[in-house]
Amino acid sequence: MSGMNRRWVLKRRPEGEIAPGDLQFVETPIPALGEDEVLVRNLYLSLDPTNRIWMSDRDQYMPPVEIGDVMRGGTIGVVETSRSERFKAGDIVNTGLGGWQTYTIAPAAIVSPVPMIPGVPLTAFMSVLGATGLTAWFGLMDIGKPQPGETVVVSAAAGAVGSIVGQIAKLKGCRVIGIAGGPEKCAWLTRDLGFDGAIDYKNEDVGDALDRLCPNGIDVNFENVGGKIMDAVFDRMNTFGRMALCGMISTYNDDGPPSGPNDFGRILMRRLLIKGFIIIDYLPRAGEAFAELAPWVASGQIKWKAHVVDGLENAVDALGRLFTGDHDGKLLIRVSPSTI
């Protein structure tokens, strides 16, 4: 297929917040397909806090994006042309990390079909039924191991992952407290998602609110934020408590390594389990999570939001919403139109 591909490439590594010129929007010719490859027109691009880490050269779980390379990002799209027996034109597929670009050429071996569930939109497979939902399920179930009656605290609870974590914990019989920014997000957690309480970190002292809402301490912490919020939860964890460390978004624009708990002895004395995890380690077990998540979503037992920004050209500006909280649920870019 001849034509041009629009893409964002990394021009320099950001220092602090992403600045104009750190990434460049360019057009390049679409190369010819090789044997057993597919050309996919991307429909949706996932924007995630880890995008900022990938732009840096700090120690991380994947190689940094190289200067001059297309920016890395998760995508789903529609097959335009195929040289593989596995896929035909029109198939909706997940290309994994297809990148911040209009078209992705990928080996068929790394492409997977997107299942169609009646009444469930494609955006679900970029959120609650995609990596977001898998992150929530494995972090909570594999590390948090929630038991009925336990208290679970979730930071960034109105975000894509946190909102799903809290609902799963409720389905497992736990008492759930969410930490979010602003009265509207906190109201959504308690009114619509069934959280037992919510803390507005922008307008109240998190430690005082935890003392009020968690009088018997905290058994499970699903941590997305890091920094002072993480410290406040850590200081109130019960003996044999578990912390699933999913992210530390409050530190991603900082220089140098993020700080950790200042009372490390508490881990020993309270016999706490603190485990960092990355969802790619769990992908071979994705079926375990999907077996529970899909029925919950189809039946309406789990609610979710997608905040969709139109236009690949707006990806850099939209990414900033993750760090200001100016979005609802899963943040996506609509790269091209879909009739599905």
Confidence of residue 340 (pLDDT cuts 50, 70, 90): low
Domain 131-281: which CATH number of 3.40.50.300, 3.40.50.10490, 3.40.50.720, 3.40.190.10: 3.40.50.720
Shortest CA distance to 200 belongs to which of 223, 174, 229? 229
- Report, as an integer, the average pLDDT of 3-7: 95
How many Cβ atoms from other residues are within 10 Å of residue 276's Cβ? 14
pTM reported for the whole predicted model: 0.90
Map tokens 């578990």 to a residue: 242
pLDDT of 263 reads 86
**Cα end-to-end distance, the chain, whole Å:** 23
- Average predicted confidence (pLDDT) for the chain: 93
Question: What is the C-alpha to C-alpha distance for residues 302 and 267, in angstroms, rounded to an integer?
Answer: 33
What CATH superfamily classification does 4-127+304-334 receive?
Medium-chain alcohol dehydrogenases, catalytic domain (3.90.180.10)
Locate 50 and state its tokens.
């880890």
pLDDT in tens, 21-57: 999 999 999 999 999 999 999 999 999 989 999 999 9
Residue 2 clears pLDDT 70, i.e. is over it: no
pLDDT in tens, 190-210: 999 999 999 999 999 999 999
pLDDT in tens, 144-153: 999 999 999 9
Q: Sheet holding 273-276: strands in order across?
A: 197-200, 175-180, 151-155, 218-223, 237-245, 273-276
Residue 229 clears pLDDT 90, i.e. is over it: yes
Confidence of residue 118 (pLDDT cuts 50, 70, 90): confident
Residue 212 clears pLDDT 70, i.e. is over it: yes
Confidence of residue 116 (pLDDT cuts 50, 70, 90): confident
Express as a percent the part of the chain with pLDDT over 90.
83
What residue ranges do the domains of the chain occupy? 4-127+304-334, 131-281
Do 131-281 and 4-127+304-334 have the same topology in CATH?
Answer: no
Question: What is the C-alpha to C-alpha distance for residues 217 and 146, in angstroms, rounded to an integer?
Answer: 14
pLDDT in tens, 241-293: 999 999 887 777 766 677 777 788 899 999 999 999 999 999 999 999 999 99
